Amino acid sequence: MTALNCRVGDLAVVVKADLHQNIGVIVEILHKRPETAMRVQGGGHQWMVKAAGGAALLHYYFKDDGRTEVRSTGPIPDRCLRPLGPQ
């Protein structure tokens, strides 16, 4: 099993994203996303995160109906995050 970039409680920066608005957003890792939740493109381990400061900064695009939402919390794959500070 590959080591994860982040752990619960970490602050991390979004370094990869389908929507460029998410690059550079600082998030807090809340918990592992349930396996039963809908899939995020690219798969892999996913975290539920909260934008630092609680601002609605995370942009999500839903291909099924074409809507876009801006939220303060949501899922992000571990591969798209880098922790801040020493590990």
9-49 residue pLDDT tens: 999 999 999 899 999 999 999 999 876 555 555 567 899 99
Average pLDDT of the segment spanning 60-84 = 90
How many other β-carbons are positioned within 10 Å of the β-carbon of residue 58?
A: 23
Q: What is the pLDDT of residue 49?
A: 95
Backbone angles phi, psi at 74, to 5 degrees: 170, 180
Distance CA 68, CA 6 (A): 26
Rounded to two decimals, the pTM is 0.83
Structure tokens at 12: 């991390």
Maximum separation of any 2 CA atoms in the chain, in Å: 41
Single out the residue of 84, 26, 16 nearest to residue 51, CA to CA. 26
